[in-house]
Amino acid sequence: MSAITVIGSVNLDFVATAARLPAPGETVTGATLARHPGGKGANQALAARRLGADVSLVARVGADGLADEALALLAAEGVDLEQCDTDASAATGVALIAVAAGGENQIIVAPGANAAFTRDHLTAPAAGALICQLELPLETVAAAVAQASGFVCLNLAPAAPLAPAALARADLIVVNETEAAFYGPALHDLPGLIAVTWGARGAGLFQGGRQLAAAAPPPVEAVDATGAGDAFVGALVVALLEGQPHAAALAFACTAGALAANRPGAQPSLPTRAEVEACLETVR
């Protein structure tokens, strides 16, 4: 079983699902509201756990009534939360998510305790592989990467100017099309693997500017794209750590992402190992 440490964000998601998303300045009514645990760090930790990895989450939540709800699924499914600390001076992070009938979404995040996670809160190097995203202060992410001795995955989301040394240290960088455009061609000058996701068109895996593999997701009905990218990240890291060939690992990750987009919510939508493997069998 792969050992993975995720250092990242924890949020509680408030998800309003409506027939369509509002234009700027417009009010859309008739929505339904749901609450789900979220945050890219927590999502990727649970994604990797459901796919068979032994996962620890290093994170911070507020001393408020939202914290237990935000951590509930992680605790229930065996993610190690020993290094998930409470910040008495900050609120638990919250994401306000609007979802259209076709699955497209808009997200606003109030990071709360995530923004107060400084490098001083990193008490020990990551055990096993490390997954980080950019929903924490960039200095904290760079410090976590510098301390790591094993496999490092950086999900550059949301896109931001991370220290070049952290980018160069990563064994795997995952970006979507928008994030890839932010970093530009220099992304492909980095030494590690670069995974670029293209939504319903699948994903590609590159190194040194050369495409190593491409994969398309299985056909699914898009319900809510929230969490699909996190499912992809968790799945790709698990597959690569298991030694799966590049093409197989990418197909595994695309399938996990597609299954997550087929269900509402971030963490509730994340698929199990059995579900991903069953779906892969149907398309072979």
Nearest CA-CA partner of 239 in 248, 230, 229, 227: 248
Q: Is 80:53 a contact under the CB 8 Å cutoff?
A: no
Q: How wide is the angle at C-alpha 184 spanned by C-alphas 180 and 186, nearest 5°?
A: 115
Give the phi and the psi of residue 257 in degrees, each rounded to 5: -65, -40
Cα dihedral: 43, 34, 107, 93 (round 10): -60
Q: How many CB atoms lie within 10 A of CB 73?
A: 22
Q: Is 242:2 a contact under the CB 8 Å cutoff?
A: yes
The residue annotated as part of the active site, out of 13, 80, 87, 230, is 230
Q: Is 144:135 a contact under the CB 8 Å cutoff?
A: no
CA distance 44 to 24: 31
* Strand partners of residue 99: 17, 105
Nearest CA-CA partner of 57 in 73, 74, 72: 74
Annotated active-site residue 189? The verdict is no
H helix or E strand, kind and range, residue 251: helix 246-261
Amino acid identity for residue 55 in this structure: V
Mind telling me the catalytic residues? 230
